[in-house]
Amino acid sequence: MMELFQEYDVEFVSSTEKFDTSTPMGRAMLNICIVFAQPERETIQKRVTDAYYSRCLKGFHMSGQAPYGFQLEPTTVEGIRTKMMEPDPAAADHVRLMFEMYAEPGTSFGDISRYFEENDIKVYGKSLFRPFLSQLLRNPVYAQADLELYEFFKSQGAAVVNDAADFAGTNGCYLYQGRDVKEDKDRSLKDQILVIAPHEGIVSSDTWLKCRKKLMANTTFQNGRKARNTWLAGKVKCGKCGYALKVTRNPSGYEYLRCNKRSDHKGCPGCGTLRKAEFEQFIFTAMGEKFRDFKHLRGGEEKANPKLTAYQVELAQVEAEIEKLLDTLTGANATLLAYANKKIEELDTRRQKITKAIADLSVETISQQQIDLLSGYLDDWENISFEDKRKATDGLISSIGATSEYVKIEWKI
């Protein structure tokens, strides 16, 4: 933290200790404290990590929400109070259905999510989506762990804590991230920690293994791929449900924008027919008109935002008040210290609100340099790169809600 302060020439003054890094003695005192604080912090980190893995090896529930299909009930393990999972009857039936359907060779995530949507089966009150389903089917917390499951995890390089005799085909398992594991546990089980859990599993080992092996055989795609099909990616949403629109191509070669939610499980009536080329041209025309109107209203001059100026003046006043209070703390008695600290906290809260308001207004304020850049992009639209088109779109548009009947554009200017 002090290195960051030094990088930006920020001095640190403590209101309760005699630390003032603007003086040689203050810097010396602070450095002495830092020397002792650093190993203490690292020791605490090590203790927390050791405690975490100690609890893992005993099969304790490590906080957080219970997986879908279970609910948490208080229990005691080795004299220590913790929580144990109990099946939630309705949700557990849904989980069994997901596993049974996916265990069939020809069933995909899409088939299951469409079935749930068509039969109005909700998960946490929402539609079932593929990423959630993928995570759920990988979790051994549902499996009734037997010797086949034991051998499977052993063969994948997982660290199995319990003996083979403990895998009696009744209890579920906890899978914990290993200490030095770098790979994603969704793709690799190597060095993951498997422990028998105190609760009973709700899916047979055979069904769970069929699903897991099927998942391992699936083709994986790289996450975070860059947009390449349309420069509207990330901006254009379905006007009916709000989910993203993606580019699809029909056998004739025509490209359309289609609702992701409808593609997944027909949970949305869809946005209608939106041809990609025609829609992009429509948005480009709207961007050009909006930008011309903006420049006309602005008059070509960069004008100060009166609201922004008012906030900046108010921020300066608040900071000046804080500085005066800090100056009074030297040699102050306990009563004055308590009052000053309380007042500083109030002023600091106010300062944070003002700073946020300034940041929000600053985002809306486009500089002359940005205007010149956007103007260049729009004037040479056919020749600029795909990435420059995305930059121009991002500079002008917050989001687009679209159907074949209407288009709603939220502008940044």
Of 157, 173, 169, 158, whose CA–CA distance to 59 is shortest?
A: 173
Place of tokens 């159907």: 403
What pLDDT score does 330 carry?
55
Q: How confident is the model at residue 186 (pLDDT cuts 50, 70, 90)?
A: low
190-210 per-position pLDDT tens digit: 888 888 988 899 999 999 999
Please report the pLDDT score of residue 411 as a whole number. Answer: 87
User: Among 41-45, 334-338, 377-381, where is mean pLDDT lowest?
Assistant: 334-338
Strand partners, 82: 75
pTM over 0.75: no
> How far is the C-alpha of 111 from the C-alpha of 300, rounded, in Å?
56
| pLDDT for the residue numbered 221 | 46
**Geometric angle at alpha carbon 220, from 216 and 225, rounded to 5°:** 160
Confidence tier at 303 by pLDDT (50, 70, 90): low
| Non-local CB neighbours of 213 within 8 Å, separated by 6+ positions | none
Question: Which residues have CB under 8 Å from 387's CB, separation 6+?
Answer: none
For helices 109-118 and 130-138, what crossing angle results, to 10°? 110
pLDDT, tens digit, 9 for 90 and up, residues 88-127: 999 999 999 999 999 998 888 888 988 998 899 999 988 8
Q: Say whether pLDDT at 224 is over 50.
A: no
Label residue 272 left, alpha or beta by phi (over 0 means left) and psi (-120 to 50 means alpha).
Answer: left
pLDDT grade, residue 408 (50/70/90)? very high
User: Which tops the pLDDT comparison, 47 or 301?
Assistant: 47
Locate 158 and state its tokens. Answer: 């997982």
d(CA 108, CA 219): 13
Q: What average pLDDT does range 58-75 have in this prediction?
A: 81
Domains of the chain by residue range: 2-57, 70-217, 236-299+369-411, 306-366
- What is the pLDDT, as a whole number, of residue 361? 63
In DSSP terms, 160 is beta-bridged to 194
The pLDDT of residue 300 is above 50: no
**Beta-ladder partners of 176:** 193
Can you give the pLDDT at residue 104? 92
In three state form, how does the secondary structure of 330-352 look?
A: CCCCHHHHHHHHHHHHHHHHHHH
Q: Is the pLDDT of residue 132 over 60?
A: yes
Phi, psi for residue 199 in degrees, rounded to 5: -90, 165
Alpha helices, H only, 17-103:
24-57, 89-103
pLDDT tens per residue across span 312-360 = 888 888 888 877 776 665 555 666 666 666 777 788 788 888 887 776 6
Q: What tokens does 291 get?
A: 């930008």
Tokens of 360: 């929000």
Lowest mean pLDDT among 2-11, 188-197, 331-340, 360-369: 360-369
For residue 129, what are the β-bridge partners? none
Q: Is there a contact between 408 and 400 (Cβ–Cβ < 8 Å)?
A: yes
Choose between 16 and 330: higher pLDDT.
16
d(CA 202, CA 242): 35
238's CB contacts (< 8 A; 6+ apart) are 244, 245, 259, 260, 261, 262, 268, 270, 271, 401, 402, 403
Q: What is the mean pLDDT of residues 241-261?
A: 88
Task: Report the 10 Å Cβ neighbour count for 256.
Answer: 19
Burial class (CB in 10 A: 0-12, 13-18, 19+), 28: exposed
pLDDT over 70 at 302, yes or no: no
Per-residue pLDDT at 393 exceeds 80: yes
Say what the pLDDT of residue 377 is: 84
pLDDT tens across 276-287, in order? 999 999 999 999
Second CATH level (architecture) for the domain 70-217 = Alpha-Beta Complex (3.90)
Q: Give 164's DSSP letter.
A: G
Residue identified by tokens 């939610």 is: 261
Q: Please, which residues have CB within 8 angstroms of residue 338's CB and are 6 or more apart in sequence?
A: none
